[in-house]
Structure 1
Amino acid sequence: MHVLHQTAASSLSLPSGSYIYAIAAAPSHFAAISSDDSLRLFDGQSLQPLAITSAKAHDGVTALKEFHGSTTDTYLLATAGRDGAVRLWDVRSGQHSKPAVEMRVEKHAPILSLSCDPDSHSVVAGTELVSSQATVALWDIRAPAQKRLQYVESHNDDVTELQFHPTRKNVLLSGSTDGLVNLYDINVADEDDALLQVVNHGSIHHAGFLSETAIYALSHDETFSIHPITNPDSEEQNEYSPIKYGDLRPLLGCEYVVQTLTSDNGQGSYLAAGNTTNVWRLPGAHGEEIVRAVHIDDQSRTVFTGGEDGFIRAWRQPESEEMQDPSFEKTNTRTKERKKYKDEKRFKPY
């Protein structure tokens, strides 16, 4: 077991009683959104606030994502909110800047989830259930006034998670409180024909890609599973079966699971979990307050956390321990993928 030590802490000059919702990387620094609806930049070493990109990013900000492509020089931050808007921010614009791009969903439905693929200039948002409709909407940011596509029948409750496949960017994952995780081919216009796979797991808190061939699902009651991405053209992959861990709380000795993290340097995927009464590996953490956000920065070998105490905190393994453990186990437990699965039929929920 490796214990990370707190190296810095900052309230980012937030109003008293504010929560940190999410953390993302920006060029040479980091960004956070919080319950005062602001988008703020901070230094990754000292955690001192650098700029307030927007004091009011949304009326009810909900999501923050990086917008940086591997084949482009574009580096924006994407936010979404309960006002039904998606906004892209140029972090070089300084204090109290205006969004570079804005897109909106129909009926101003509150947006709960967001994902970006800068290489294809794509942004996708998922909404709450409004008037019996939960929407997955995708835009090309070069034409923000008109949606590239919209799915309105695949989920019948709030869309809580969206993610693009790590290499096949035409494949999109969505998760919902209706219990389903869906995979789509966004190059197919018809919604029914676009659906590639459905996993029935339970009310989705988080879901995403663990690798090119596996996805995970984490429910609001902390139930966790790993599923193969089915391929009807491959007999070998059709031999694989899902791995169902059940409730992670007794397995990890925790009270709640924050999120699943994938390392940018290819070292694997990690689970971040927490306790309000006692703490494992991040001594003191955010005290009695819940951890809302965790971000791993591979370059500086730092874990950033944000919590309901309104603080951003930075954590690192002592240099002496890093020398002994170059793999740098960053969070509570590492998720291991099984190499063999059993046959699952296309479109059939598990």
Structure 2
Amino acid sequence: MEASDLVSRLQSLGLQHKSAVSLVKTEPHYVLDMAAQHKGGEDSKLAVTSSNYTIRLFSRFSLAQTQTLTGHTDVISGIHFLHSDPELLVTSSHDKTVRVWDCRASSTQEVQLFKGESNTNCSFLSCDVNASDRVICAGTEKTSADTYLLFWDRRKAAVLGCYEDSHDDDVTEVRFHPTAEKSLLSGSTDGLVNVFDVMQTSEDDALMSTYNTESSVEKAGWCGPDARYVYCITHMRTWHVWDTDGDEDIQQISDVEGKLESLSKVDYLVDCIPAATPSNQYLLVAGTHSGDLHFLDLSDSEDPKVVSSLKGGHSDTVRCLHWDRETETLVTGGEDSLLCLWSPNAAHGKEVTAQQRKVKPKKVTPTKRTKPYTR
């Protein structure tokens, strides 16, 4: 899809459905994060975490709630569906566990549970599963002087290894490459974004690239041609993009809000929507605390442009989003306890209420090994 096509698709979006995750106005259950199954079809599921430590499953295209998964006892920090079996869901939490759930099961009990070993038994602040679904990685909170990236073999529920020297503070993001199962990026409040080849036998050999944002990393991921680029959003609302092929610094914008001040109000940066085209590899999504969303074309770093906006769905900060290329629909979740489905040329928004509930955050500690990935 060309960048201009992505922009035109976003410009055609209108509010189709709303789903209330919580109806309690005094203590709303914030939507914290979401993940969508790696499959299409009307039965496709959306998994949503909220501030009461629960996971709710919704229909991706009607936002009707279908199931609730409970078990975590603290803030859920990461959520991802597996690729080969999209009915399996991986989550990490500040309760020092990583869990795998079967969305087909009538029971709400997890089917696998992973923890660190003695000295690495820490709160998990992020997690992901690689493209082959074999390896799970989770990043920990800093405990004493150490912070860790822990790896497990999902098939054996065994700890494969641990990286402990590449970050000096909380690991807020881990992301495997969408197709290259050996490539992993990590981001931390120490300001560093690292890229690893986890097939290497030691942490030193595995570390391929280090990028310094000089700030605290909030979100990071892959974008660009063949997902070759790494992007990062910091807690100071700066934006960075690097090309891992040659470690080129492609873009850095330290004052997105200021550059847009005369055009649109922006309070924070939400995430990136990759366009998957050489001409324009990404659109940045920004928001206001009153719930408006703006899609930004950053092809000119000195002159970012608002190419589309969405209003009337949320009334508070938007925490997460999911763009579906196949159906050209967008789902957003926010601190107003709402999920909003945005569809092309939607005329009216329908509201779907869901059962109430609530969620909140915590922390983690790991072991020392050198081989996180074994052939």
So what's the TM-score if we normalise by structure 1?
0.80
Runs of 4+ in structure 1 off by over 4 angstroms are 13-16, 263-268
Task: Find the counterpart in structure 2 of residue 126 from structure 1.
Answer: 139
Task: Find the counterpart in structure 1 of residue 14 from structure 2.
Answer: 5
Which residue of 174, 183, 195 maps to 1:171? Answer: 183
Task: Find the counterpart in structure 2 of residue 303 from structure 1.
Answer: 330
Task: Find the counterpart in structure 1 of residue 369 from structure 2.
Answer: none
Aligned with 1:192: secondary structure? helix
Task: Find the counterpart in structure 1 of residue 317 from structure 2.
Answer: 290
Q: Deviations over 1:314-333 (max 9, x none)?
A: 1123169xxxxxxxxxxxxx
Q: 2: distance between equivalents of 1:264 and 1:114?
A: 24
Within the alignment, does 1:36 sit opposite 2:52 as a pair? yes
Aligned with 2:258: secondary structure? helix
> Closer, same or farther in 2 for the Cα pair 1:220/1:187, shift >3 Å?
same
Task: Find the counterpart in structure 1 of residue 31 from structure 2.
Answer: 20
Within the alignment, does 1:276 sit opposite 2:284 as a pair? no
Q: List aligned pairs for 1:214-233, cutoff 5 A.
A: 214-231=229-246
Aligned with 2:61: secondary structure? coil
Task: Find the counterpart in structure 1 of residue 116 from structure 2.
Answer: 105
> Closer, same or farther in 2 for the Cα pair 1:33/1:265, shift >3 Å?
farther
> Closer, same or farther in 2 for the Cα pair 1:100/1:262, shift >3 Å?
farther
Q: Deviation at 1:265? A: 10
Task: Find the counterpart in structure 2 of residue 260 from structure 1.
Answer: 272
Task: Find the counterpart in structure 2 of residue 333 from structure 1.
Answer: none
Task: Find the counterpart in structure 2 of residue 329 from structure 1.
Answer: none
Q: Deviation at 1:283? A: 1.2
Which residue of 116, 128, 146 maps to 1:115? Answer: 128
Aligned with 2:77: secondary structure? strand
Task: Find the counterpart in structure 2 of residue 191 from structure 1.
Answer: 203
Q: Deviations over 1:124-182 (max 9, x none)?
A: 100111111111111110121x3112101110001011111233321211110100011
Q: Deviation at 1:293? A: 1.1
Task: Return the letter of the residue paired with 2:76.
Answer: V
Aligned with 2:132: secondary structure? helix
Aligned with 1:31: secondary structure? strand
Task: Find the counterpart in structure 1 of residue 78 from structure 2.
Answer: 63
Task: Find the counterpart in structure 1 of residue 63 from structure 2.
Answer: 47
Aligned with 1:147: secondary structure? strand
Task: Return the letter of the residue paired with 2:30.
Answer: Y
Q: Deviations over 1:40-97 (max 9, x none)?
A: 1112233121111x1333422221112123xxx4531111100111101111113x42
Q: Deviations over 1:271-315 (max 9, x none)?
A: 22101247342112321x111111112233211111111111111
Q: Which ranges of structure 1 fall in alignment gaps of 5 or more residues?
A: 232-237, 321-350
Q: Deviation at 1:21? A: 0.8
Task: Find the counterpart in structure 2 of residue 245 from structure 1.
Answer: 253
Aligned with 1:167: secondary structure? coil
- Structure 1 contact 57–79 (Cα < 8 Å) conserved: no
Within the alignment, does 1:92 sit opposite 2:104 as a pair? yes
Q: 1: distance between equivalents of 2:130 and 2:223?
A: 17
Q: Deviations over 1:217-239 (max 9, x none)?
A: 221111112112144xxxxxx7x
- Structure 2 contact 291–317 (Cα < 8 Å) conserved: no
Task: Return the letter of the residue paired with 2:314.
Answer: H
Task: Return the letter of the residue paired with 1:141.
Answer: R
**Structure 1 range deviating more: 85-94 or 162-171:** 162-171
Task: Find the counterpart in structure 2 of residue 343 from structure 1.
Answer: none
**Structure 1 range deviating more: 119-128 or 24-33:** 24-33
- Structure 1 contact 12–42 (Cα < 8 Å) conserved: no
Q: Which has the higher contact order (CA 8 A, sep 6+)?
A: 2
- Structure 1 contact 12–47 (Cα < 8 Å) conserved: no
> Closer, same or farther in 2 for the Cα pair 1:116/1:264, shift >3 Å?
farther
So what's the TM-score if we normalise by structure 2?
0.75
Q: 2: distance between equivalents of 1:161 and 1:199?
A: 14
| Count, aligned residues | 306
Q: Deviation at 1:209? A: 1.6
Task: Find the counterpart in structure 2 of residue 154 from structure 1.
Answer: 166
Aligned with 2:104: secondary structure? helix
Aligned with 2:136: secondary structure? strand
Q: 1: distance between equivalents of 2:221 and 2:145?
A: 25
Q: 2: distance between equivalents of 1:183 and 1:243?
A: 17
